[in-house]
Amino acid sequence: MKAAPWFILGVPAILAIAALPARAATTQVIYSFAGGVDGEYTDTDVAMDGAGNLYGTSVQGGTHASGTVWMLSPSGDSWTHTVLYNFTGGADGSEPYKGVTLDTQGNLYGTAVTGGGGGCEGGCGVAYKLTNNGGSWTQSVIHTFTGGEDGAGPGARLTVGDDGDVYGMAPTGGAFGAGTIYRIHPSKHGAWKLSVIHAFTGGADGIGGSAGAMLFRGRHLYGAATAGGANGEGAIFELTPAKTGEGKYKAIYAFKGEPDGAFPYGGLAFDALGNLYGTTYYDGEDEVGTVFQLTPTQKGAWKEKTLYSFQGGSDGANSIGNVVFDNTGNLYGTTSEGGSGGSGVIFKLAPLSRREWQESVVHSFAGPPDGAFAYNGMVGDGAGNFYGATVHGGAQDEGAIYKFTP
Which is it for the CA torsion 231, 235, 241, 246, positive or negative?
A: positive
Range from 49-58, 182-191, 382-391 carrying the lowest mean pLDDT: 182-191
Q: What is the pLDDT of residue 15?
A: 29
Residues sharing a CB contact under 8 Å with residue 2, sequence separation 6 or more, in sequence order: none
pLDDT at 154: 97
100: nearest Cα among 143, 71, 79, 121? 71
Q: What is the pLDDT of residue 10?
A: 33
Name the pLDDT band for 5 (thresholds 50, 70, 90): very low
204-226: per-residue pLDDT in tens? Answer: 999 998 999 999 998 999 999 99
Dihedral, CA of residue 343, residue 282, residue 331 and residue 220, to nearest 10:
-130
Q: Which of 131-135, 172-176, 219-223 has the lowest mean pLDDT?
A: 131-135
Banded model confidence at residue 23, pLDDT cuts 50, 70, 90: low
**Mean pLDDT value across the chain:** 92
Residues forming beta bridges with residue 295, ordered by sequence position: 303
Residues 6+ away with beta carbon under 8 Å from 230? 204, 251, 254
Q: Is the peptide bond before 264 cis (omega within 30 degrees of 0)?
A: no
pLDDT of 373 higher than 80: yes
Nearest-CA neighbor of 289 among 270, 266, 273? Answer: 266
**Residues facing 309 on adjacent strands:** 290
Write the DSSP symbol of residue 213: P
Question: Which of these ranges, 148-157, 169-178, 293-302, 332-341, has the smallest mean pLDDT?
Answer: 293-302
pLDDT given for residue 6 in this prediction: 23
Q: What is the pLDDT of residue 3?
A: 36
- Asked whether 101 and 120 are in contact (CB, 8 A), the reply is no
Cβ contacts of 290-297, under 8 Å, gap ≥ 24: 290/260, 290/261, 291/319, 291/323, 291/331, 291/333, 291/349, 291/357, 291/359, 292/261, 294/236, 294/252, 294/253
pLDDT digits (tens, 9 = 90+) for 312-352: 999 999 999 999 999 999 999 999 999 999 999 999 999 99
Is the pLDDT confidence value at 297 over 80? yes
Q: Is the model's pLDDT at 7 over the cut of 50?
A: no
pLDDT over threshold 70, residue 24: yes
What global pTM score does this model have? 0.92
The number of C-alpha atoms within 13 Å of 167 and in the hemisphere containing its C-beta is 24
Contact status, residue 390 vs residue 42, Cβ threshold 8 Å? yes
Q: CA-CA-CA-CA torsion for 307, 313, 318, 323, nearest 10 degrees?
A: -50
Q: What is the pLDDT of residue 152?
A: 97
- Report helix, strand or coil for 344: coil
Nearest by Cα to 46 from 327, 380, 348: 380
Q: Is 35 helix (H, G, I), strand (E, B) or coil?
A: coil
Supply the pLDDT for residue 2: 31
- Is residue 85 within 8 A of residue 71, CB to CB? The reply is no
Question: Which pLDDT does position 135 carry in this prediction?
Answer: 84
pLDDT class of 244 with cuts at 50, 70, 90: confident
What digits encode the pLDDT tens for the residues 60-86? 999 999 999 999 999 888 999 999 999
Q: CB-based contacts of 201: which residues, under 8 Å, 6+ apart? A: 176, 178
- Give pLDDT tens digits for 180-195: 999 999 987 889 999 9
Statement: residue 8 has pLDDT above 50 = no
Per-residue confidence (pLDDT) for residue 18, from 0 to 100: 36
| Residue 16 DSSP one-character state | H
pLDDT at 300: 82
Q: Give the span between the Cα atoms of 76 and 217, in whole angstroms.
A: 36
Instruction: For residues 167-171, give the mean pLDDT.
Output: 97
Express each pLDDT in 266-295 by its tens digit.
999 999 999 999 999 999 999 999 999 999
User: How many C-alpha atoms does 248 have within 13 Å on its Cβ side?
Assistant: 6
Distance (Å, rounded) from C-alpha 398 to C-alpha 36? 9
According to DSSP, the residues that pair with 178 across neighbouring strands are 173
Contacts for 19 with CB less than 8 Å, ≥ 6 apart: none
Contacts of 267 (CB under 8 A, 6+ apart): 45, 157, 210, 211, 212, 213, 214, 215, 223, 224, 278, 321, 322, 377
End-to-end CA distance of the chain: give it in Å, rounded.
Answer: 27
